[in-house]
Every structure is written in C-alpha cells, then in structure tokens.
Structure 1
Amino acid sequence: MRYLVLAVAALFAALAPNSASAYWEYGHESVAEIAYRNVTPQTRAAIDRLLRRADLLDTPECPARTVASAAVWPDCIKKLGERFSYSFAWHYQDIDVCKPFDPKSACANGNCVTAQIRRDMRLLQDTSVPLRERVQALAFLIHFVGDLHQPLHVGEHHDMGGNAVHTNYGAYAPDRLNLHSVWDGYLAERAISTPPSPIRHYSDAEKARIAAGDIDDWARQSWEISRDSVYPTALGGSPCDLGKDAARDGHLDNDEIAKLVPIARRQVIRGGLRLAKLLDKALG
C-alpha cells in the first residue's frame, strides 16, 4: 500500500501546474461545481448565457465554456505572458498572521483578491458593460472566490503564502514541495475526494449558515485558519516565534494531515456556497 501511495503522489506531482499561486484544478473546479448546483435556476441560465460567449475572450488555449473550465481560466492565462500579467497579483492578499488583521494595507491600488471580487461583482451587475468584459469578470469571480478560501492566499508570514516553507506530505517529500502546494493540491484533493462528495445541492438552511457574512469576513476566516491551523501544524508552533529570515522547514505526518482534511473540506464547501451567494446577487 505504501508504494501505491507514493506512486499516486508522484503522479500528482507530475501532473500539477508549475505555479503554486492558486488551487490546482480540482479545488477550483469543485468550488465552481458546488456553486453551480446551488444558485437559482435564473442565475444558472445567466451563467450559461455568458459562458456560451467565452469565445470573446480570444484565448483558445484556455477555454471557459463551462463553470469548471472558467474556474481555471485565470490560472491558464498566466502562460500567455504579458497579455494578462496585470492580473497576477489579484489571486491573493498577503496579510501577516503575526499582526492584527488588516486587509487594506495588503491591497495596494486594488491589486488583491478581495478588491477584485468586488470589482467583478460590479461588472457582472452592470449590463451596460461590454459582453466580453462581463464574461471575463465571471471567470475571474469564480476563480477568485476559490482563491479566497485557500487559507495561504490570505494569511502568511514573510514567506510568499507558505511557498518558502519546505515540508513533506506524509511519506511524500520531494525537494520542491512546500506548504502552499500542499494546501493548493494534495490536501485539497484528499479533502474533496473523501466521501461523501461535497459537490451536491445544499439546503436553504445550510446555505444561509455557511454563506453568512461578507467578503471581508471570509478573508478574515481564511487568515485565522492560516494563523491557528496551517502554520502551527506544519511548524509545530507559531511562525511568529521565528525570525523574519529564519529557515522554514515544516513537517506533516499522516495524523496531522488527517486533522487538516476536515478544515480543507470546509473551505471548499464554504467557497462554493459563498460563490453561489455572490452569483445570485450579481446575476439572479
């Protein structure tokens, strides 16, 4: 069994994107599918109408005709170089977990994930905006709500959202593995694939409870998870006790991973239902 686990992990590593800037495909697609199943029929029809015009984006290398493909479009376009380089900083909001929660200082000139979610909402709500811009705003919104719920896209400590924290993932410990990639991919994939599937229709009561609050509340929640769970589990204590330039070496054994799976799973569900809430508001 151990050899099977290692083989599967190696396969994931070979297939994973080189960039560690956002959830890998499975995480983003799952958030999008949860949202799509939980919006109103009117919203779903509006989503479909917009995505049928994804050809306006003029990115044949990066299709966006379904919610799943639209969810990964903002990562796919990174490989197109300068054309979309202006959007690279929109995927995260680096708020130091060792200081008071301060989203404004981590969002220079609106170049952060929470500001862009709000911008995309405004573009979608304004039917006078050119259709191409509304299609692009929809793809960005679907993706960025997923990013917001990956804790290391919000909370960090002088380490590029955990990218500079070297760690293992159970028995899997390649040299290039870091804490960010664990939460982007390996942990998210285990959390989503563990039965029962989180991709389903949720009751009105569940939606109301899980999607309560606003964008800043959701950002704070991700930041708190980074501060209270992500870093302490990997580092064996608070990152605040380490110097700014200290070497960062983490460790995640199987027991620790098992404790993190429910947290990662909740974040995917929260992302999906909160995205549904925003889509209903913008398009319903």
Structure 2
Amino acid sequence: MQHNGFRRALGAGLLVGSLLWGGQAGAWGQLGHAVVADLAEAELTPAAKAEADRLLALVRQQHLSAVASWADNLRNMPDFQALWEQTRAQHYINYKTDDCAYQAARDCPDGQCVVAAIERNAALLADPKANDNQKVMALMFVVHFVGDIHQPLHNSYRLDKGGNDFPVVVGGRDYNLHGVWDSYLLASRRLDQAAYTARLSEDLPKPEAGTPASWSGESCAIVRDDDLYPKAGGRKAFKPDAFKQSKSEEWARRGTQGGEEDGEASGNQDTLDRRYLKKFLPLAERRVQEAGIRLAQLLNATLPAGTPKK
C-alpha cells in the first residue's frame, strides 16, 4: 500500500497544522470541492457520519468540506512536500487514446492516477486494521479525489496537460481551458458555499453508483464532446488523433509558446462566450452533484466497515 510510511510517521498534530494552510485548489476550485463534500455529508448514514465525525475530530474539524482541498494544499506545506510529490499525479488520469474504457495496464500502469488512488484509499477506510492516522488521511484524499474524477479535464489528454496548455479568453481575461472548468464556470454563479450547496441540493440526480473507473469514463466522454474544446476561425476541434500530427501537436502546445507563455492574448486564443457557459455550466453543476452523491455512497459503504470494533 503506497504512502503507508508517511501515514505512520505523521502525527495528528502535524495533520492539524496542515489544515491551517491555504492554497489554490485543483479541480472545481475550493468552492466546488467544498460543495461536493457538503452534498455528500448530507447523504451519509448515521453509522458513516459517526465514523467520519470521529476521524475529523482527530484533525479538529467538524465537516468534510473543511478537509476537501487538503490534498491540493499539500503543495504549499513545507512538511508535506514528499507526500505532495508522491501524490500529485493521483489527481488526474491521461487517456492515451479515444477509448474512455479504463484499462489499468494501459491507462494507469504505475498506479499513479485518480482511479487507482480512490480505490486504494477507499480500501484503507474499509479496513478495520488500519490505524486512525492512515484513515484520516485516506478520508481527506477520498473526499478530494472523488471531486477530481468528476471534473472532465482531470480525465483528459496528456498532449495539452488536460487543457492547461489550451489558452482561452473569458470576459476579456486570459485563462486556460482547465482553469475555466476548475473554477470559472462555478464562480460565474456568484454564490458562496452555503448558497451553492442549497441550490444543488434542490434537485439531486440519481446517478448509477458505478465505480471510480466508470466515473472517469464518464468524464473522459464529456471531454470528447465536439464543443468542449472551443474552435475559432474555422479551426477544427482538438482531437486525440492529433497526437500523431505534428501540425496539430504544435497547435495544442501553443499555450507554452511565444507571448502566451507570459499570459498574453494572441490570435490563437479562443474566446468563450455566453453560449459556451450556457451549455457547460449546467453540466459542470451536474458533475458536482454526481460527485457528492457518489462520495456519500462510497463513504456509506467503507466507513462503517472499517470502524474499529469495541
């Protein structure tokens, strides 16, 4: 089991200190991750809620949302740099082809991807022999990674780093496509955490429970939507078959070249208009809802099973 050495060595006091660090969150931003956690917490069974509360108390927290961005904030914590380096690739998965059916040997051969990370940490939560330090870290990772796996561009193309190298303009400001999906879409509602949670709680979907692999496959399929990667000036949408086409590769890498390397707008950037937001904001919100429901289902299945016997 990876990272067990860190989990045994790190005490609750250090974990408590780590939660005091702020930082820029990844998928969905801090707002989205917090809303996912709030939606999940409202759906926990009494047994799962009791165990979650017990583990959260070890790091002096009362709600899942308080730890929802911990896995991202590791990057800013001096005492956790080794753990960040070991887990940074576990926030996403890069599919090598247009096939969204996850194959571990092909898509995650070293176990360093979001699908495998959820599976490992869920197993720890369900293991009554795992110690509390292992479990509280597994809980914080699971809460975050289930959010990550439902963000489409965390299940994307290696060529443009999941949209990080795909520059766009929104409202006259420079972004990359990944950042639009991480933060801009949800932030455009201009709602705080409580208001957004209330909004998304009103009409919760009932998604198939599925598995981490199938959740990732759903996100991967969304990325393949012809309109998710915007096109301008008659340019064709980005497709994975561009991997072998040098011209398309040069285009896909444009976010790290020339003036765009300094964040300057260029003629190659795409402008996202209201039509883009109108189409994809509801989809982003549905993925947040599905993440919350499935996180609750996962915790309801694992936390009671792993509760220490009295």
Pairwise TM-score range, normalised by the shorter structure: 0.7 to 0.9
Give the 3 Å change call, closer, same or farther, for CA 129–212 of structure 1 in structure 2.
Answer: closer
Q: For 1:201 and 1:39, how far apart are their aligned partners in 2?
A: 17
Query: Which residue number corresponds to residue 220 of structure 1?
Result: 217
1:181 matched to 2:184? The reply is no
Q: For 1:271 and 1:126, how far apart are their aligned partners in 2?
A: 23
Conservation of the 8 A alpha-carbon contact between 2:111 and 2:117: yes
1:245 counterpart SS class:
helix
Q: For 1:262 and 1:237, how far apart are their aligned partners in 2?
A: 25
67-76 or 227-236, which moves further after superposition? 227-236
Conservation of the 8 A alpha-carbon contact between 2:27 and 2:181: no
Query: Which residues in structure 2 correspond to 1:267-278 (within 5 Å)?
Result: 267-278=287-298
Conservation of the 8 A alpha-carbon contact between 2:24 and 2:30: no
Query: Which residue number corresponds to residue 6 of structure 1?
Result: none
1:39 counterpart SS class:
coil
Count of residues in correspondence between the two structures: 252
Conservation of the 8 A alpha-carbon contact between 1:151 and 1:222: yes
Query: Which residue number corresponds to residue 263 of structure 2?
Result: none
Give the 3 Å change call, closer, same or farther, for CA 137–202 of structure 1 in structure 2.
Answer: farther
Give the 3 Å change call, closer, same or farther, for CA 70–17 of structure 1 in structure 2.
Answer: closer
Conservation of the 8 A alpha-carbon contact between 1:92 and 1:113: yes
Residue by residue over 1:250-282, the C-alpha shift from the partner in whole angstroms, topping out at 9 and shown as x without a partner, is 321112211111111110000000101100010
Query: Which residues in structure 2 correspond to 1:257-268 (within 5 Å)?
Result: 257-268=277-288
Give the 3 Å change call, closer, same or farther, for CA 17–135 of structure 1 in structure 2.
Answer: closer
79-88 or 230-239, which moves further after superposition? 230-239
Query: Which residue number corresponds to residue 165 of structure 1?
Result: 166
Shift of 1:143: 0.2
Shift of 1:232: 3.6
Q: For 1:88 and 1:138, how far apart are their aligned partners in 2?
A: 17
Shift of 1:202: 6.9
Give the 3 Å change call, closer, same or farther, for CA 139–92 of structure 1 in structure 2.
Answer: same
Query: Which residue number corresponds to residue 252 of structure 1?
Result: 272
Q: For 1:51 and 1:130, how far apart are their aligned partners in 2?
A: 14
1:282 counterpart SS class:
helix
Query: Which residue number corresponds to residue 106 of structure 1?
Result: 107
Query: Which residue number corresponds to residue 54 of structure 1?
Result: 59
Query: Which residue number corresponds to residue 237 of structure 2?
Result: 238
Q: For 1:94 and 1:196, how far apart are their aligned partners in 2?
A: 30
If you compute each CA radius of gyration, which structure gives the higher value, 1 or 2? 2
Give the 3 Å change call, closer, same or farther, for CA 106–198 of structure 1 in structure 2.
Answer: farther
The gaps in structure 2 that reach 5 residues or longer are 1-21, 243-247, 256-268, 305-310
Shift of 1:66: 2.6
1:95 matched to 2:92? The reply is no
1:70 matched to 2:75? The reply is no
Shift of 1:112: 0.5
Query: Which residue number corresponds to residue 123 of structure 2?
Result: 122
1:190 matched to 2:191? The reply is no
Give the 3 Å change call, closer, same or farther, for CA 195–102 of structure 1 in structure 2.
Answer: closer
Q: For 1:198 and 1:135, how far apart are their aligned partners in 2?
A: 29
* Two-structure CA RMSD over aligned residues (Å): 2.6
Q: For 2:31 and 2:108, how far apart are their aligned partners in 1?
A: 27
Conservation of the 8 A alpha-carbon contact between 1:33 and 1:199: no
Shift of 1:245: 2.3
Conservation of the 8 A alpha-carbon contact between 1:155 and 1:224: no
Give the 3 Å change call, closer, same or farther, for CA 276–211 of structure 1 in structure 2.
Answer: farther
Query: Which residue number corresponds to residue 8 of structure 2?
Result: none
Query: Which residue number corresponds to residue 12 of structure 1?
Result: none
Conservation of the 8 A alpha-carbon contact between 1:191 and 1:265: no
